[in-house]
Structure 1
């Protein structure tokens, strides 16, 4: 049996997330034997729709084995943190199109999304432990899918933080106001994002504005998850589900 792995991100006009994805794919590849291949794809901001990216990667990964009787298996790991519309609807639809085009030559398996891994909390807790603060805000992107924020709320609660959302309520500013009103003067923000990019830059700018608005408060901004051997380990574990 031949196997290949495709790490799937949202996609961005910013080059930094793509570079980080390539680095992460390299770390995951190190856990595999030489006959396995790890690639990357993007749901959006790509010249090709996802199902065509999947088909193209499968051809490059399996090559002549597509013409043999070998069982070719492609595992797709969505590197998304929330069970939003992309994870629950868009990605499965694109994978179904790719499977339809591939026929019986390839078995395409959609693995659990990254945010569902139980050990992701440990990576976030490690970042929190490195910064001293009286109160923490876990800042996620947010989703229009009903119920998707429950995972963020649960994660924030387990970390001793409060949740806020970049693309919906409660906003970062409203959470800061609540904490300031409660008497906190050392507030740290943990971006619940994979990599640095346009949004994390915008978050940093927003915090600079909050510093002017709340001059008596000491704000600190943690880094997003970023590329690490620990993150690669979680992704590898998801490929085995």
Structure 2
């Protein structure tokens, strides 16, 4: 039995997340067992985007399946394509959109290749350790964990729990409570050193906008020292979590 792995991100008009996804795919490729042929292993880990792509996701899945397994007809269920959603929140994309695209892809491919949808990245328990590692490098009196937010009911619970475990408060870029409202609360409580941890995978348009908003907050609260941590980024540690999810 052969397995291939497709890392699915949201997609962006900004080039930086795509570059980071390619880097991450290479790091995950390094996790392949030694019995994989090195010359072909790079074709067994690919990337795809749910949005901002010329092709819909189900067509990207089909195309990757062909490149990973070739045109030969294996015995039924011999080849497996594992889809790993690189999303941090269990929002509409993770719970509805991606599963629907996987169904379409499976219908088109047939039973020669079995597509298995793995848990999303944000579900991994050790993700919190990566965030704690980032927090440990910056000295601050108070931390804000800033996530994107989701319109799906219950998706905030993950962020709230993560923030509580990190001794931080949660804020959302696309919904309440906002970054500014959280800053006002912390300033009113007497904090003068506030750090913001973006709960995002990679640098891009949103993290640029977050940095710009923090510059505005510095003008509004001149007595407060603000610090902005980096998003998760492509790293060997993150690749390890992704590889672990493929065994679920």
What's the TM-score, normalizing by structure 1? 0.98
Residue 31 (str. 1) matches residue 31 (str. 2): yes
Q: CA deviation at 1:105?
A: 1.0
Q: Which residue of 2 aligns with 1:69?
A: 75
Number of paired residues?
A: 240
Q: CA RMSD in A?
A: 0.8
Q: Which residue of 2 aligns with 1:141?
A: 148
Q: Which residue of 1 aligns with 2:192?
A: 185
Q: Which residue of 2 aligns with 1:53?
A: 60
Q: Distance in 1 between matches of 2:31 and 2:148?
A: 30
Provide structure 1 residue ranges, at least 5 long, that are not aligned to the other structure. none
Q: Distance in 2 between matches of 1:63 and 1:133?
A: 53
SS of 1:64's equivalent? coil
Q: Distance in 1 between matches of 2:85 and 2:218?
A: 35
SS of 1:190's equivalent? strand
Residue 152 (str. 1) matches residue 159 (str. 2): yes
Q: Distance in 1 between matches of 2:74 and 2:187?
A: 65
Q: Distance in 1 between matches of 2:15 and 2:112?
A: 34
CA deviation map 1:24-60 (0-9, x unaligned):
0000001113354100000000000000000000011
What's the TM-score, normalizing by structure 2? 0.95
Q: Which residue of 2 aligns with 1:173?
A: 180
Aligned pairs (5 A) from 1:1-241: 1-32=1-32, 33-34=36-37, 36=41, 37-65=44-72, 67-69=73-75, 71-241=78-248
Provide structure 2 residue ranges, at least 5 long, that are not aligned to the other structure. none
Q: Distance in 1 between matches of 2:71 and 2:101?
A: 24
CA deviation map 1:58-102 (0-9, x unaligned):
01110033x232611000000000000000000000000001111
CA deviation map 1:78-133 (0-9, x unaligned):
00000000000000000000011111111000000000000000000000000000
